[in-house]
Amino acid sequence: MFGRNNLPNASKKGVKKQALKAFLYLALFLVLMNIISFLITYASSRYECHIQWVESNMEYKYTVRGGCLLNLENGWVPATNYRVD
Residue 10 pLDDT more than 80? no
Question: Per the structure, how many domains does the chain have?
Answer: 1
Phi, psi of 67 (to 5 degrees): 75, -150
Of 76, 54, 75, 56, give the one whose Cα is nearest residue 66: 76
* Residue 49: inside a domain: yes
* Residue 1: inside a domain: no
- Residue 85: pLDDT band by 50, 70, 90 thresholds? low
* Residue 76: inside a domain: yes
- Residue 32: pLDDT band by 50, 70, 90 thresholds? very high
pLDDT tens by residue, 37-79: 999 999 999 999 999 999 988 999 999 999 999 999 989 999 9
Q: Taking every pair of C-alpha atoms in the chain, what is the biggest distance, in angstroms?
A: 81
Cβ burial 17-56 (10 Å sphere, 16+ → b, else e): eeeeeeeeeeeeeeeeeeeeeeeeeeeeebeebeeebeee
Q: Which domain holds residue 19?
A: 7-81
- Residue 13: pLDDT band by 50, 70, 90 thresholds? confident
* Residue 2: inside a domain: no
